[in-house]
């Protein structure tokens, strides 16, 4: 449903509303015949439904169209950019998921003590800040004053895995900060609820060591809702990527969309956005799957 | 704890006699709210009267003194065409503090109407509208904004509409769940028995009783609206030059921070940070005051 709506919006926003595409590309002084000819080549003078159907069916078959600006197929650009964005998102996720969960768990175990206050308040304040603001402040601290990390994510050609990783640390930090607060808060409230439950009391009363209670009984129940939250955060993460990739001049899907939007390169823009929609849908599916794996209660009968 | 005793938030509790004073006093006791409110008030004052106490004209360039580091003359230094950063930071609060509240207002009005409709009628209306709203909520604001701005061009109005409509479903969801609880109460049945129209029942009977959750959601959304407006300005899709807007200033100057000109971006970044945190603290206070 979201994908369908997104595709309609992208289509309408990208192709119909701006009016004359040929005019937009060739500029206001171009000959009207040239504009018509270009419109015809691009196919933007066909009826709307035909255009929409043609675009969607081609997209499903892997043909994303031809970039207006580069005059070459869009697909390689999008795939390349998606790969780069995945790297950046992966670094941010690998950092934030364990640390966020750990933060939430530690806060819950120290409920209402200073440590809990620091984690909760700190998490909340970094979460509400726009990525580019934390990004700028981090660049100033680590890139300009301390000179520990490069201020741009564009690594040298043929850079190895660790060099790439080194270049990705700073860009992934703002994403980390935004997500940290959400994940820690979910993990914390999940933990508090699980710690307060009857099964935890039973486990304690039957004499299990505290460590075992936490690992076997509390954590598993506490982290279930957190997984769903992490999946829904992919949407925010993608929004964040657009900003972060622009700030760090990183060739990802976010900056691809951004550049395409600025240059009115509609096939590129539409394909980029639809690709993001698909990634989001897949992430949600994976989360549902993980949730059912980890939660035996909603597993289907045939599994048992 | 307090002289005024409040009960737990049952649906009935949202309907209080003379509740405004009660909420007002519990807000005054909330340290979180007061700190947040003070920060916001400071920036509102800057937005309203900034140019009277800013030491320089925020738009006046002075190319000879371009990129001067902070000094006693220019507290926050000057930017690449010699404009005084301190004055720009002060006056820079104006646009974001107009656009973000207007967007929030639009979101609140649209969201409340949608929430009342879906919550009151349930059934088919609810199913269809709720599915569409859910699909909308899954799309990041930045993406919607990019599309809208490509299609409609850049202007403050576009930003207000984009953010307003992106946030409306979230408010609608909150209002809907509040209305679902309200509509089972006797006063709604009474109104229906009097053959009041559905519109009357929704807006005159139910609406006043769901104001508290709407208020909380609105203050929270205001924080996100500032987040979004600042981000869009930074991307070049929001407030346009020559406004001294913070996000815009950062986007114009961050290309040079590799050269060590930190003062051209740091103060704007801190200003955004303080405003966002201020609004969120205030929102937290309002939430606490209404849910005690």
Question: How many domains, chain B?
Answer: 1
Which segments of chain B have a pLDDT < 50? Answer: 1-17
Write the pLDDT tens digit of every residue in B26-36.
777 778 888 88
Write the pLDDT tens digit of every residue in A34-49.
666 666 666 666 666 6
Residue A104 near residue A152, CB atoms below 8 Å: no
Q: Is residue B49, in this structure, part of any structural domain at all?
A: no
Share above pLDDT 90 across residues of chain A, in percent, rounded to a whole number? 0
pLDDT, residue B5, reads 46
Q: Is residue B125, in this structure, part of any structural domain at all?
A: yes
Give the CATH number of the domain where residue B223 resides. Answer: 1.10.3720.10
What is the rounded CA–CA span in Å between residue B69 and residue B84? Answer: 10
Q: Which chain A residue lies closest to B253 (C-alpha atoms)?
A: A136
Could A144 and B269 be called an inter-chain contact, meaning their C-beta atoms sit closer than 8 Å?
no
Token readout for B250 is: 């950062």
Q: Is residue B114, in this structure, part of any structural domain at all?
A: yes
pLDDT, residue B105, reads 95
Q: Is residue B14, in this structure, part of any structural domain at all?
A: no
Sign of the four-CA dihedral A87, A90, A96, A98: negative
Domain hosting residue B228, numbered range: 74-290
Chain A positions in Cβ-Cβ contact with residue B223 (cut-off 8 Å)? 128
Residue B269 near residue B10, CB atoms below 8 Å: no
Residue A256 near residue A78, CB atoms below 8 Å: yes
Q: Is residue B84, in this structure, part of any structural domain at all?
A: yes
Token readout for B26 is: 């519990």
State whether residue A143 sits within 8 Å of chain B by CB.
yes
Q: Is residue B102, in this structure, part of any structural domain at all?
A: yes
Sign of the four-CA dihedral A205, A209, A210, A212: negative
Write the pLDDT tens digit of every residue in A126-151.
888 888 888 888 888 887 777 777 77
State whether residue A242 sits within 8 Å of chain B by CB.
yes
What is the rounded CA–CA span in Å between residue B169 and residue B138? Answer: 10
Share above pLDDT 70 across residues of chain A, in percent, rounded to a whole number? 70
In which residue are the tokens 């069916």 written?
A: A57
State whether residue A298 sits within 8 Å of chain B by CB.
no
CA angle A276, A99, A217 (to 5 degrees): 105
pLDDT, residue B113, reads 92
Give the confidence band of A4 by pLDDT, cuts at 50, 70, 90: low
Could A125 and B277 be called an inter-chain contact, meaning their C-beta atoms sit closer than 8 Å?
yes
Q: Is residue B105, in this structure, part of any structural domain at all?
A: yes
ipTM: 0.76
Q: Which chain A residue lies closest to B133 (C-alpha atoms)?
A: A2
Chain A positions in Cβ-Cβ contact with residue B130 (cut-off 8 Å)? none
What is the rounded CA–CA span in Å between residue B44 and residue B62? Answer: 28
Burial of A177 (0-12, 13-18, 19+ CB in 10 A): buried
Residues 9-68 of A with CB under 8 A from B: 9-10, 12-14, 17-18
Interface mutation target, options A151, A261, A264, A266, chain B, most CBs of B under 10 Å? A261
pLDDT, residue A147, reads 74
Q: Is residue B47, in this structure, part of any structural domain at all?
A: no
Decide if pLDDT at A248 tops 60.
yes
Nearest to A298 by CA among A215, A227, A211: A227
3-class secondary-structure state, position A66:
strand
pLDDT, residue B108, reads 94
pLDDT, residue A21, reads 59
Identify the structural domains of chain A with CATH numbers, from first to last. 2-60 (no CATH), 75-303 (1.10.3720.10)
Alpha carbon of A213 to those of A101, A206, A216, A217, B232: distances in Å?
17, 10, 6, 5, 47
Alpha carbon of A135 to those of A26, A244, B222, B228, B278: distances in Å?
37, 7, 22, 15, 20
Chain B positions in Cβ-Cβ contact with residue A21 (cut-off 8 Å)? none
pLDDT, residue B107, reads 94
Write the pLDDT tens digit of every residue in A75-92.
778 888 888 888 888 888
Residue B168's contacts (CB-CB under 8 Å, 6 or more residues apart) are: B106, B107, B110, B111, B114
């Amino acid at each position: 449903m979201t994908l369908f709506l997104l595709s309609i919006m992208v289509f309408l926003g990208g192709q119909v509303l701006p009016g004359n595409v040929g005019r937009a590309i060739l500029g206001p002084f171009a000959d009207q015949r040239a504009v018509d000819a270009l419109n015809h080549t691009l196919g933007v003078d066909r009826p709307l439904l035909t255009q929409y159907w043609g675009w969607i069916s081609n997209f499903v078959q892997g043909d994303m169209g031809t970039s207006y600006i580069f005059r070459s197929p869009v697909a390689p650009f999008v795939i390349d950019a998606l790969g780069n964005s995945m790297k950046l998102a992966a670094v941010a996720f690998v950092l934030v998921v364990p640390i966020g969960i750990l933060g939430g768990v530690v806060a819950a175990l120290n409920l209402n003590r200073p440590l809990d206050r620091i984690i909760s308040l700190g998490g909340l304040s970094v979460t509400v800040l726009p990525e580019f603001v934390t990004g700028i402040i981090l660049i100033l601290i680590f890139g300009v004053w301390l000179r520990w990390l490069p201020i741009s994510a564009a690594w040298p050609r043929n850079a190895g895995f660790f060099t790439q990783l080194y270049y990705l640390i700073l860009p992934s930090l703002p994403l980390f900060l935004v997500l940290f607060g959400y994940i820690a808060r979910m993990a914390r409230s999940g933990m508090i609820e699980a710690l307060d439950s009857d099964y935890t009391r039973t486990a304690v009363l039957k004499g299990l060591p505290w460590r075992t209670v936490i690992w076997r009984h509390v954590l598993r129940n506490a982290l279930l809702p957190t997984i769903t939250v992490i999946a829904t955060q992919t949407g925010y993460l993608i929004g964040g990527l657009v900003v972060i990739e622009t700030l760090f001049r990183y060739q990802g899907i976010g900056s691809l969309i951004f550049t395409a939007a600025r240059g009115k390169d509609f096939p590129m823009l539409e394909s980029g956005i639809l690709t993001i929609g698909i990634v989001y849908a897949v992430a949600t599916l994976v989360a549902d799957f993980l949730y059912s794996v980890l939660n035996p209660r909603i597993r289907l009968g045939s599994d048992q | 704890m307090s002289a005024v005793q409040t009960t737990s938030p049952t649906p009935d509790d949202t309907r209080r006699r003379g509740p405004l004073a009660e909420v007002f006093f519990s807000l005054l006791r909330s340290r979180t709210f007061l700190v947040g409110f003070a920060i916001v008030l400071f920036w509102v004052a800057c937005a309203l009267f900034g140019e009277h106490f800013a030491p320089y004209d925020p738009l006046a360039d002075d190319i000879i003194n371009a990129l001067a580091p902070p000094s006693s003359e220019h507290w926050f230094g000057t930017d690449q065409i010699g404009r005084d950063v301190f004055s720009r930071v002060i006056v820079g609060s104006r646009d974001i503090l107009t656009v973000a509240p207007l967007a929030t207002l639009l979101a609140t009005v649209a969201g409340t109407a949608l929430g009342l409709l879906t919550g009151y009628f349930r059934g088919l209306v609810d199913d269809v509208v709720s599915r569409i709203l859910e699909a909308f909520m899954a799309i990041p604001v930045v993406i919607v904004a990019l599309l809208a701005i490509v299609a409609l061009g850049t202007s403050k109005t576009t930003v207000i509409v984009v953010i307003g409509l992106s946030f409306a479903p979230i408010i609608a969801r909150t209002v809907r769940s509040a209305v679902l609880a309200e509509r089972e109460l006797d006063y709604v049945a009474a109104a229906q028995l009097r053959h009041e129209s559905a519109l009357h029942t929704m807006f005159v009977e139910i609406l006043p009783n769901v104001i508290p959750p709407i208020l909380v959601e609105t203050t929270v959304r205001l924080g996100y609206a500032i987040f979004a407006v600042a981000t869009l300005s930074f991307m070049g899709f929001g407030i346009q030059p020559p406004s001294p807007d913070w996000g815009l200033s950062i986007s114009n100057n961050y290309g040079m921070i590799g050269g060590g000109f930190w003062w051209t971006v740091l103060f704007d970044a801190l200003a955004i940070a303080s405003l966002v945190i201020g609004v969120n603290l205030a929102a937290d206070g309002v939430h606490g005051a209404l849910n005690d």
